[in-house]
Amino acid sequence: MCLFCEIIKGNIPSTLVYEDDMTYCFRDINPVAPTHVLVVPKKHFDNIRDIAAAADGAQYLSACSKAIDEVAKLEGLDSGFRVINNCGEDGGQTVMHLHFHVIGGVKLTEKMI
Ligand code: AMP
Ligand code: ZN
């Protein structure tokens, strides 16, 4: 069972921010800033390396890029924000379905979070 696949199917509740054919974007349950949205491809990829190896990976990556822009517009992140992808155990990835954290709504420190 993959948590984010279940969220995308609607079997586990989430707070939707933006959705299109290829992505599903919802609020992180444990936000670290006023805006903390997870941009998730609707097709399951384990991580950023998995998407690089897939024939349709480029399409999904491009869709994620568009979705990040849509989330930024919807959340009014005009003065900037941070995008984070954790990859693998040492990268701090806890949900093994590729996702991008879009974090903003406050002036972020130069340090990584
Ligand atoms: P990562 O550590 O990069 O794999 O990020 C996983 C993120 O998923 C964490 O920031 C969690 O707070 C978030 N998360 C876990 N379960 C849920 C959930 N049911 N709904 C929304 N976000 C979740
Ligand atoms: Zn999944």
Q: What digits encode the pLDDT tens for the residues 42-81?
A: 999 999 999 999 999 999 999 999 999 999 999 999 999 9
Atom number of ligand 1 nearest to Cα 86: 3
Q: How far apart are CA 56 and CA 95, in angstroms?
A: 21
Question: What pTM was estimated for this model as a whole?
Answer: 0.97
Q: Which residues pair with 37 in a beta bridge?
A: 27, 102
Q: Which residues line ligand 1 (CB under 6 A)?
A: 3, 12, 14, 28-30, 38, 86, 92-95
Res. 113 pLDDT band, cuts 50 70 90 = low
CA distances for 51 relative to 17, 36, 103, 104, 107, angstroms: 23, 23, 22, 25, 31
Q: How far apart are CA 86 and CA 40, in angstroms?
A: 13
